[in-house]
Amino acid sequence: MPHAKPPARAVARIGSAAIIIAIALLALAVVWNERIVSTIFNKGLPITPVFIIIVATMRKLIVLVAITIFIIGILLRKYRIPIARWMTRHRDTLTNIIVLVCTMLALLIIGEITARAMLGKTTFDAGGPAHKDQTAQITYNSYGFRDREFPVERPTGTVRVLALGDSFTFGHGIENDSLPWPKALERMLNENAADGTIYEVINTGQNGYQPKDELTTLERAAPLGPDIVLLGYFYNDAATDDTLRELAEPPSTWSQLKSGTHLLLFSHSYLYGFLVVRWEMTRINLGLKESYPERMNNVYRLHAGELSMHKEQLMAIRSRAETIGAEFVLVIIPANYDFNDYPLMDGEQFMRRFCEESRTACIDLLDTVRDEDYRKTRLNEYDAHPSEYGHTVLARAVMESPEFRAAMVKTSAKRQKI
Amino acid sequence: MGKNRTMLGEAWEFLKVRKAWWLAPILILLIIVGALIIFGQSSALSPFIYALF
């Protein structure tokens, strides 16, 4: 039987197709920007810094893939005859490789479909996509705050309170926009208002915010003229001086690509989210990684002397609040772990010292919640954020604290002077 | 000998004899997912999800 002629022409055709695909991908990279991607894929959510990183990373990945495919196409065309001969000689190996790649792709697709069909909608189940779905339900005002619109001109007889903070203030995991502690505080204040004063408490908290973000938020919200600024402090806000200096440096292309790809997968793939969350937990459960409260507490326990920039950040927020004529109160929000065997005591003591030394008005809520059952104040069995009940407890404790009352008295005295 | 073989050993033997290496990723993924489900149990000490972003 005569030996079949090497399929050089087929190899050349595959090469040409690769070149065309590469050119199409390059064209896609040219038009690939935040606005287009947001319209098509992002459910109309606001364009966040994280989203910009994802889009920029995707553009780089598209260019990288296009260049690779283009080079492969050129090589396939140039060396079509030796490649065709090699393919004929190694037909079995090639078939195995193709079947292997197809199996892996099929597995990933089946895994993703199964994860979407079977996993619950909590963030522990599905990671980023569940988080994204939860935040998509939330109403944001024109400032991007989780709140209603507020006119710049403050209505007469209104006391305006600005609540800065991270997810503990934003209300991570709380579906109802009126239940995070700033809004619960607003409701309680208005229910108890004796002299017809109207209280507005603006929730500016955002998931993952750090003090530098809170300072930027305060700058943006300054025209709203708050009377009181409450800074909701949580222990993952602390970072050592070295970490803050590193964060100030622009990230390398490689680290951008790495974190961008992770962000991309984590915020879209249920399978990836499921695996990443469980991988993190496996490392913690096997003692290969510190638990989350340990990690937070160790920043204060092991690096208390290296937190001067962190203290400066907090003082900068206080100073800015005072510049715009607002009373500043720092609210230390407890994590909902066992309050009587509290794993964040080093952080707690550090903050107590900071408040004392800097003479900052601080509401330390740990003592207030000690009698509470942390399983009731916690969002769920694996998330230490406050539950709806937890937010109500926090709001009441803030309202009844001597520091908040003192700030209200000072506000009232300022009004009378005017 | 056959009696003492583990399930994994048998699966390995099957892949070797049948040369069905394309089945290997399925086996590996099942082992990884199984291990993560067993060892990655939730607890209140979990990291906050957005911290993984």
pLDDT in tens, A190-213: 998 877 889 999 999 988 889 999
Q: Does the beta-carbon distance from B45 to A291 stay under 8 Å?
A: yes
Whether A41 is in a domain gets the answer yes
Within this chain, do residues A310 and A232 fall inside the same structural domain, yes or no?
yes
Number of domains present in the structure of chain B: 1
- Name the minimum distance, in Å, from the CA of A175 to any CA of chain B: 16
> CA–CA distance from A269 to each of A119, A275, A389 (Å)?
12, 10, 32
Whether A185 is in a domain gets the answer yes
Extract the tokens encoding A305.
């002397």
Query: B17 is in which domain, residue-wise?
Result: 2-38
Whether B27 is in a domain gets the answer yes
Q: Does the beta-carbon distance from B44 to A131 stay under 8 Å?
A: no
Within this chain, do residues A401 and A300 fall inside the same structural domain, yes or no?
yes
Three-state SS at A199: strand
Whether A245 is in a domain gets the answer no
Looking at residue A299, which CATH number applies to its domain? 3.40.50.1110
List, as own/partner pairs, every contact residues A376-381 make where C-beta atoms lie below 8 angstroms and the sequence separation is at least 24, other chains included.
A377/A336, A378/A336, A378/B44, A379/A172, A379/A173, A379/A174, A379/A336, A380/A122, A380/A124, A380/A173, A381/B42, A381/B43, A381/B44
- Measure CB to CB from residue A275 to each of B21, B36, B39 and give the nearest one: B36
Question: End of a domain among A63, A89, A109?
Answer: A109
**Residues B14/A262, Cβ–Cβ less than 8 Å:** no
Whether B12 is in a domain gets the answer yes
Whether B13 is in a domain gets the answer yes
- Give the pLDDT band of residue A307 (cuts 50, 70, 90): very high
Q: Does the beta-carbon distance from B44 to A384 stay under 8 Å?
A: yes
Within this chain, do residues A412 and A298 fall inside the same structural domain, yes or no?
yes
Three-state SS at A103: helix
Cα–chain-centroid distance for residue B52? 24
Nearest to A67 by CA among A22, A31, A28, A27: A22
Query: A53 is in which domain, residue-wise?
Result: 8-109
pLDDT of residue A1: 40
Three-state SS at A239: coil
Within this chain, do residues A297 and A166 fall inside the same structural domain, yes or no?
yes
DSSP assignments along A42-79, one per residue: STT----HHHHHHHHHHHHHHHHHHHHHHHHHHHHHHT
For the segment A342-360, the average pLDDT, to the nearest whole number, is 95
ipTM of the complex: 0.77
pLDDT, tens digit (0-9, with 9 covering 90-100), for A235-252 = 989 999 999 998 888 777
Within this chain, do residues A299 and A153 fall inside the same structural domain, yes or no?
yes
- Name the minimum distance, in Å, from the CA of A53 to any CA of chain B: 11
Within this chain, do residues A163 and A204 fall inside the same structural domain, yes or no?
yes
Within this chain, do residues A208 and A356 fall inside the same structural domain, yes or no?
yes
Question: End of a domain among A92, A109, A126?
Answer: A109
B contacts of A111 (beta carbons < 8 Å) = 29
Number of domains present in the structure of chain A: 2
Sign of CA dihedral A337, A339, A345, A350: positive
Which chain B residue is nearest to residue A105, measuring alpha carbons? B25
Interface of B with A (CB under 8 A): 21-26, 29, 32-33, 35-37, 39-53
pLDDT, tens digit (0-9, with 9 covering 90-100), for A51-67 = 777 788 888 889 999 99
Whether B45 is in a domain gets the answer no
Within this chain, do residues A215 and A325 fall inside the same structural domain, yes or no?
yes
Residue A259 has pLDDT above 70, yes or no: yes
Question: End of a domain among A91, A109, A127?
Answer: A109
